[in-house]
Amino acid sequence: MSQKISVIITSCNQKKYLFDAVKSVLTQTVQPFEIIICDDASGDGSQDVIKLIKSKHPELIKLIFHEKNLGVSNNRNSGLRAAKGDFITWLDGDDRYCSEKLELELNTLLQCDKSKWVYSKFIFTNESGKTIGHSKSISNEGNIFDELVGNIGRNPRYPLIDQSIIDKVGFFDERLNMYEDFDFHLKLSKDYECSYCSKPLTEYRQHTGGVTHYLPTNEYEIYFDILHENLKTLLADVPNSRRYRLERAFERRKNQLYLGWDIVERNRISATKRLFREIRFKPTMIFHPRTLWTPMRILLGSGIVKFVKKGFSPKT
């Protein structure tokens, strides 16, 4: 194909997984035009691994090494600014592409003149790379902005984007080290339609080294404030009734996430307040099975409730 695809791989102390990540890009059925590896001042020997990989593919792989840690958004932006391809996508250094990712997404995108970006399903893997689940992210095409607003954490991962719109959309908000991809997808979907590929084409690795395992609650609050601030800017030209509906959807999803975290941390009083708030957002939720189990999760913890629910499940 004549279209040139730039793949940006971001790295920060992910030496254990880097070979897998880069190999998954090198073995694509459609080869990328360039692979830009951006390392955010790793201290675990990652840069030595990256130099070794580049030595085997000197023309294909470009390196950006930061002398001090700049954060995930700043690191990824350095790759976006350096990319020369017609289309751009990215990958975290602990995740992997499935072999047809670039080919199928590019073909899907080129079939629709209105679309400027494309995304696909992804699967969750454990630390060793074994599949442990499938994404519950949104799965529509066209204008997905309204649906995306109320789905923090369920946004697409690693889309393929027409390079011509990057400057218009803007880069990742460098104040964010979490949910930066959600924020970017909001900007992307506000003015540009997308295509969707229903085949899982990315593996998202779950492991204890992930950023969400180390963030205190006050940092979550800071990031949500930034997300809300950016959302208000995007909604400035939206009619009042639609703006109210979308801000309410955002607040409801934020409350759901905090409820989940409170249950995990056994913050029973806070979790109970958030459960009642969830019911106020949507009173019919009181009859939903998930809501009926939530008080037990608050009192007993998620692990025990999962065990109890399993006992009620029919044997197959």
pLDDT at 305: 41
- CA dist list (Å): 267 to 42, 272, 297: 35, 9, 11
Furthest-apart CA atoms within the chain: distance in Å? 60
pLDDT at 108: 97
- Return per-residue pLDDT of the chain as tens, 316 residues: 589 999 999 999 999 999 999 999 999 999 999 999 999 999 999 999 999 999 999 999 999 999 999 999 999 999 999 999 999 999 999 999 999 999 999 999 999 999 999 999 999 998 888 888 888 778 799 999 999 999 998 889 999 999 999 999 999 999 999 999 999 999 999 999 999 999 999 999 987 766 554 566 677 889 999 999 999 999 999 999 999 999 999 999 999 898 888 888 788 888 888 888 888 888 876 667 766 667 767 776 655 444 343 443 443 3
pLDDT at 290: 66
Distance of CA 52 to the CA centre of its chain: 28
pLDDT at 253: 94
Domain 5-212, CATH number (from 3.10.20.740, 3.90.1150.10, 3.90.550.10, 3.30.460.10): 3.90.550.10
Tell me which residue of 92, 73, 69, 67 sits closest to 175, measured CA to CA: 73
Q: What are phi and psi of 116, to 5 degrees?
A: -115, -5
CB 199 within 8 A of CB 91: no
